[in-house]
Chains A and B, each alone.
Chain A
Amino acid sequence: MQVICVSRGSQSRGKEFAEKLAAELGYACVSREDLLEEATRRRIPIGKLETAIIKPHIYSEDLAIELDHYKALATSVLCERAARESIVYHGRTGHLLLPGIDHILRIRVVSDMEYRVSYVMNELGLSRDKAKQYIDLVEDDRRKWVKQFYGVEWDVFTLYDLVLNLSQMSVTNAVSATCAMAQLPEFQATPASLKAMANLRLASRARLILASHEGTRRRNVKVRATDGVVNVTYLSQEMREPQVITQALQDIEGVREIVCTEAETNILWIQEAYDLADHSYEAVLSLANTWDAAVELIKLSPTDEPDDVLVSGVQRNADSWPESGVIDEALGGGEDQPEDMAKVYEKLIGDGRAGGRRSVGRSKKGLVNAIDRSVNYRLIIFDRVLLDKDESARKRMLQEWANFLSDSLGTPVVTVKDIVAQHQFGFRQAARMTVLALVTAAILFAVFQFNSEILSFLSRTELKWRVLATGCIFVFVPLFALVYSSAARLFLKMLKLD
């Protein structure tokens, strides 16, 4: 089923365009107003949410949870409808509502200010200046809404597949052009994208059930789903009895397994190959334990998929990796589901750090599209990729990819080696800690052994001695602090308490 999402500005004629497009294609038309109606029916305080986003000082933890409920509701409604029929959705964040689904045609509709001002003047009976002011205010509120919801700017046009300026063409012609574009293979559902949508649907349904369940209603939980495995991450302070999550979710149709992970934040770990035998796993786990983070795995395909790949129709090769989005487990047969990632994931479940897993084609754009921007990843670990390249090219390209990911998502990107250097405690760290501790002990011994001489030196009243004493204190104190704090930090790292 096809999904077309239209993102519209205030008085941009986006609604008119979306309705005509739906009628032309014979698709169902779903609007933001439909979602709001459903949200009101479920007692999600939409009005309060809108006000809180415009006036951040009234924004609270409770409203953040309500915002999450609304997001799950919007995702669930759209996924449910898209599972039954092709749809055209129009609203302010249409392009961001279904992350990781690569066959969606994302359109932004704009109109020039002159048209919009005239429209508002006619509709609301305002003066020209007031009408312009009104449009600016509404646009500003929408910008804040998008930023708060997804952490991205509304006007980043690279997030859209098509931007239509209705000041330059009629709605009818825009609809015709869009109908032609909608036939392109890139915007047709594939088994992989349908599977990704099914995962999204399951996750949003689970989130909504948790929102209505007595024991989990006011809790800040994040839900992801992959092939019937539902991952729920929750805050330790909020959930004393995590069993209540499994009780709430166990009857949902399509759930094979429920994994509950206590986590304050998320780490995204992207590799082409995972190996439990190397030191990567211990390093990542150690970091996850330190940060109280859930680790989400993404496995990249081992061969390149160019960003500008032309896919020959909807009949993609079942054994190949699509250029973007989430790869279907069933696409290449269950046996193609990466076994190495499955093993690491099972281990993460055992260690209480599992945060979901996916497979993605090897292209920069595809990878970025597949990452859910509404999830607040604290760190992205990007390593063991481009393994088919030679060493020097791999090193350079790894950096390029890391920079691209970091720029696109605004999240720090590091390699496992960086983490090992930062967080693992080995022989070198032990030796360093010992040396620093000995230096600290030697300084303390010297100061207390020559206690009276030092105090006498510090107490001399002649100006030149005072300046010298002050200079000594000024240099010595921070040096001691640096040496001792390094030793103390390594000691706590050794105890896994840093």
Chain B
Amino acid sequence: MESLFIPLELTDCLQVILLGFIGGVLSGFMGSGGAFFMTPGMMNLGVQGIVAVGSNITHKFGKALVGSRRHAELGHVDKKLGIFMLITALVGIRTAVWITSSLFDVGDAGGDKGAAANLYISLVFVISLSVVAVSILWDVLRTGRDSDGGPSRRITDYLSRLRLFPMIHFPVADVRVSLWVLLIVGFGTGYMAGTIGVGGFIGVPAMIYVFGVPTAVAAGTELFLAMFMGAFGALNYAMEGFVDIRLVLLLYLGSLVGIFIGAYGTKVVKEKMIRLVTGIIILLCVVSRAIAVPIYLAQLDLADIVQPSSFETLNNISKAFLYISGISGTAVILFNVIRAYIRRRRVYATIVARSE
């Protein structure tokens, strides 16, 4: 089992901190996620997919704990909604852990232990985040054409007309949601969190578009939910021995600073730009992971489309895409943050003009 954990040199440590920082900035900026960058980033460093997910979900536990405390102070947490979603989310996580753990042992005899789990995680990552990225970019284009900034309520309105009983009222979010819809969304959120460590990309849009929850409450409730899911995921992965505590601490070093800076960025960047940057970053991450898929297919002898000698090249290209997406996205956010910071310092904004 000890061979699961890779040796960490100083450069590896710095790269993990950087991954954490970029993930934190993106997470603070986009309201959820960050793991979509950190999980494959660690995998590109040679960390086994399952250890990357296990460490990431453990890291998410502490991060969500800190975040939900702040949101709760602002009244952005609907605990009742969070608890309802949590019940099925835990089942979703458990299902995800069972699937990835089972797949981890496939290919053991051939010396490519973990390749099946890596392939599975990568495929789920590519398919689900492609849908999310395209939806976000479509939403941006739709906003541009119709000048309608609000999220679409078509699904919410449709489901509320269906009235699938029992309907439950959530007082903080002030919505009525069918128990069945709640259970399905909760399971999906937990499954995604357990598989790729990115439950928020399912949970937050689902709460906004399916339940009709206000955006701030959706983000706060998702963090409340993520705290429990992270705790549950951490327990499960830790029990299986898939948590590298060193990676968790190094991720924190970057992410907990990055998340504050990312959140600051949302105050100084336009709403449309936030969604555009988010969509492009996720899409580039999807491309990065898709490039690595042929390696896992070849390791499992499922498709002979790349030679083992090309693995390193493909891995490097995948790594390059990931770093380009994360670094360019973070650069855009940091540029705006620094510019706003300097501008405030110069008291640029106020002009006093006297008519006489």
Choose among B59, B148, B246, B268 the residue that contacts A448 (Cβ–Cβ < 8 A).
B246
Contacts of A458 in B (CB 8 A): 238, 241, 243-245
Say yes or no: A497 contacts B353, CB within 8 Å.
Answer: no
A-B pairs under 8 A by CB, number: 164
- A-contacting 9-mer, from B79-87, B184-192, B343-351: B343-351
Say yes or no: B267 contacts A264, CB within 8 Å.
Answer: yes
Question: Can you name the residue of chain A whose Cβ is closest to the Cβ of B146?
Answer: A60
Q: How far is B8's CA from A474's CA once the two chains are assembled, in angstroms?
A: 23
Using an 8 Å CB-CB cutoff, how does the interface string of A462-498 with B read, 1 for contact, 0 for none?
Answer: 0000110110011011101110110011011000111
Identify which of A62, A246, A349, A458 gathers the most chain B CB atoms within 10 Å of its CB.
Answer: A458
Say yes or no: A466 contacts B246, CB within 8 Å.
Answer: no
Identify which of B148, B152, B154 gathers the most chain A CB atoms within 10 Å of its CB.
Answer: B148
Choose among B1, B5, B243, B260 the residue that contacts A488 (Cβ–Cβ < 8 A).
B260
Choose among A257, A264, A456, A460 the residue that contacts B355 (Cβ–Cβ < 8 A).
A257
Say yes or no: A60 contacts B235, CB within 8 Å.
Answer: no
Q: How far is the CB of A58 from chain B (nearest CB, A)?
A: 7
Question: Can you name the residue of chain B whose Cβ is closest to the Cβ of A250?
Answer: B355
Say yes or no: B234 contacts A474, CB within 8 Å.
Answer: yes
Residue B248 interfacial (CB < 8 Å): yes
Question: Can you name the residue of chain A whose Cβ is closest to the Cβ of B13?
Answer: A448
- A-contacting 9-mer, from B95-103, B251-259, B313-321: B251-259
Contacts of A242 in B (CB 8 A): 349, 351
Question: Can you name the residue of chain A whose Cβ is closest to the Cβ of B337?
Answer: A497
Residue B341 interfacial (CB < 8 Å): yes
Question: Can you name the residue of chain A whose Cβ is closest to the Cβ of B344?
Answer: A289
Say yes or no: B256 contacts A350, CB within 8 Å.
Answer: no
Contacts of B244 in A (CB 8 A): 455, 458
Say yes or no: B246 contacts A480, CB within 8 Å.
Answer: no
Q: How far is the CB of A247 from chain B (nearest CB, A)?
A: 9
Q: Given that A455-B2, A492-B257 are known contacts, is A237 also in contact with B243, CB under 8 Å in the complex?
A: no
Say yes or no: A255 contacts B355, CB within 8 Å.
Answer: yes
Q: How far is the CB of A244 from chain B (nearest CB, A)?
A: 11
Question: Can you name the residue of chain A whose Cβ is closest to the Cβ of B345?
Answer: A496
Say yes or no: B349 contacts A260, CB within 8 Å.
Answer: yes
Contacts of A469 in B (CB 8 A): 238, 241
Q: How far is the CB of A256 from chain B (nearest CB, A)?
A: 7
Q: How far is B1's CA from A460's CA once the two chains are assembled, in angstroms?
A: 8
Identify which of A56, A352, A482, A492 gathers the most chain B CB atoms within 10 Å of its CB.
Answer: A352
Residue B161 interfacial (CB < 8 Å): no
Residue B231 interfacial (CB < 8 Å): yes
Say yes or no: B147 contacts A352, CB within 8 Å.
Answer: no
Say yes or no: B4 contacts A459, CB within 8 Å.
Answer: yes
Say yes or no: B252 contacts A351, CB within 8 Å.
Answer: no
Contacts of A261 in B (CB 8 A): 349-350
Choose among B148, B253, B260, B270 the residue that contacts A498 (Cβ–Cβ < 8 A).
B260
Say yes or no: B61 contacts A477, CB within 8 Å.
Answer: yes
Say yes or no: B355 contacts A473, CB within 8 Å.
Answer: no
Residue A434 interfacial (CB < 8 Å): no
Q: For residues 288 through 339 of chain B, which have their beta carbon under 8 Å from a beta carbon of chain A?
A: 337
Identify which of B343, B348, B349 gathers the most chain A CB atoms within 10 Å of its CB.
Answer: B349
Q: Given that A236-B340, A470-B238 are known contacts, is A459 also in contact with B350, CB under 8 Å in the complex?
A: no
Residue B145 interfacial (CB < 8 Å): no
Q: How far is B3's CA from A459's CA once the two chains are assembled, in angstroms?
A: 9
Contacts of A292 in B (CB 8 A): 267-268, 344
Could you tell me the dominant secondary structure of chain A's interface residues? helix
Residue B91 interfacial (CB < 8 Å): no
Contacts of B63 in A (CB 8 A): 481
Residue A401 interfacial (CB < 8 Å): no
Q: Given that A466-B241, A469-B238, A481-B63 are known contacts, is A236 also in contact with B350, CB under 8 Å in the complex?
A: no
Residue B32 interfacial (CB < 8 Å): no
Residue A158 interfacial (CB < 8 Å): no
Contacts of B27 in A (CB 8 A): none
Contacts of B58 in A (CB 8 A): 473, 477
Q: How far is the CB of A378 from chain B (nearest CB, A)?
A: 11
Residue B149 interfacial (CB < 8 Å): yes
Choose among A258, A448, A492 the residue that contacts B261 (Cβ–Cβ < 8 A).
A492
Residue A454 interfacial (CB < 8 Å): yes
Contacts of A243 in B (CB 8 A): 351
Choose among A61, A236, A482, A492 the residue that contacts B65 (Cβ–Cβ < 8 A).
A482
Q: For residues 137 through 153 of chain B, which have their beta carbon under 8 Å from a beta carbon of chain A?
A: 147-150, 152-153
Residue A122 interfacial (CB < 8 Å): no
Contacts of A448 in B (CB 8 A): 246
Q: How far is the CB of A239 from chain B (nearest CB, A)?
A: 9
Residue A262 interfacial (CB < 8 Å): yes
Residue A82 interfacial (CB < 8 Å): no
Say yes or no: A58 contacts B148, CB within 8 Å.
Answer: yes
Q: How far is the CB of A214 from chain B (nearest CB, A)?
A: 18
Say yes or no: A237 contacts B352, CB within 8 Å.
Answer: no
Choose among B231, B248, B268 the residue that contacts A237 (Cβ–Cβ < 8 A).
B268
Contacts of A476 in B (CB 8 A): 245
Contacts of B154 in A (CB 8 A): 57
Say yes or no: B347 contacts A459, CB within 8 Å.
Answer: no
Choose among B8, B150, B351 the residue that contacts A56 (Cβ–Cβ < 8 A).
B150
Q: How far is B253's CA from A448's CA once the two chains are assembled, in angstroms?
A: 14
Q: Given that A57-B157, A62-B147, A447-B245 are known contacts, is A482 also in contact with B62, CB under 8 Å in the complex?
A: yes
Say yes or no: A259 contacts B350, CB within 8 Å.
Answer: yes
Question: Can you name the residue of chain B whose Cβ is closest to the Cβ of A57?
Answer: B153
Question: Can you name the residue of chain A whose Cβ is closest to the Cβ of B349?
Answer: A262
Residue A444 interfacial (CB < 8 Å): yes
Say yes or no: A257 contacts B349, CB within 8 Å.
Answer: no
Residue A317 interfacial (CB < 8 Å): no
Say yes or no: A257 contacts B353, CB within 8 Å.
Answer: yes
Using an 8 Å CB-CB cutoff, how does the interface string of B205-247 with A read, 1 for contact, 0 for none?
Answer: 0000000000000000000000000010011001101011110
Choose among B243, B270, B354 the residue that contacts A256 (Cβ–Cβ < 8 A).
B354
Question: Can you name the residue of chain B whose Cβ is closest to the Cβ of A289?
Answer: B344
Q: How far is the CB of A79 from chain B (nearest CB, A)?
A: 21
Q: How far is B269's CA from A260's CA once the two chains are assembled, in angstroms?
A: 20
Q: How far is B234's CA from A256's CA once the two chains are assembled, in angstroms?
A: 64
Q: How far is the CB of B254 from chain A (nearest CB, A)?
A: 10
Contacts of B343 in A (CB 8 A): 236
Residue B249 interfacial (CB < 8 Å): yes
Residue B120 interfacial (CB < 8 Å): no
Say yes or no: A454 contacts B245, CB within 8 Å.
Answer: yes
Q: Given that A477-B61, A485-B256 are known contacts, is A352 also in contact with B347, CB under 8 Å in the complex?
A: yes
Q: How far is B257's CA from A353's CA once the two chains are assembled, in angstroms?
A: 28
A sample of 17 more A-B contacts (CB under 8 A), given A458-B245, A461-B1, is A58-B148, A250-B355, A256-B356, A257-B352, A260-B351, A351-B350, A458-B244, A459-B241, A466-B241, A469-B241, A470-B239, A473-B245, A474-B235, A480-B249, A484-B253, A489-B260, A498-B260
30 contacts across the A-B interface (CB closer than 8 A): A56-B153, A58-B148, A59-B150, A60-B149, A61-B147, A62-B147, A236-B268, A256-B355, A262-B349, A292-B267, A448-B246, A454-B246, A455-B5, A455-B244, A455-B245, A455-B246, A458-B241, A459-B241, A466-B239, A469-B241, A473-B58, A473-B234, A480-B249, A481-B66, A482-B65, A485-B66, A492-B260, A492-B261, A496-B341, A498-B264
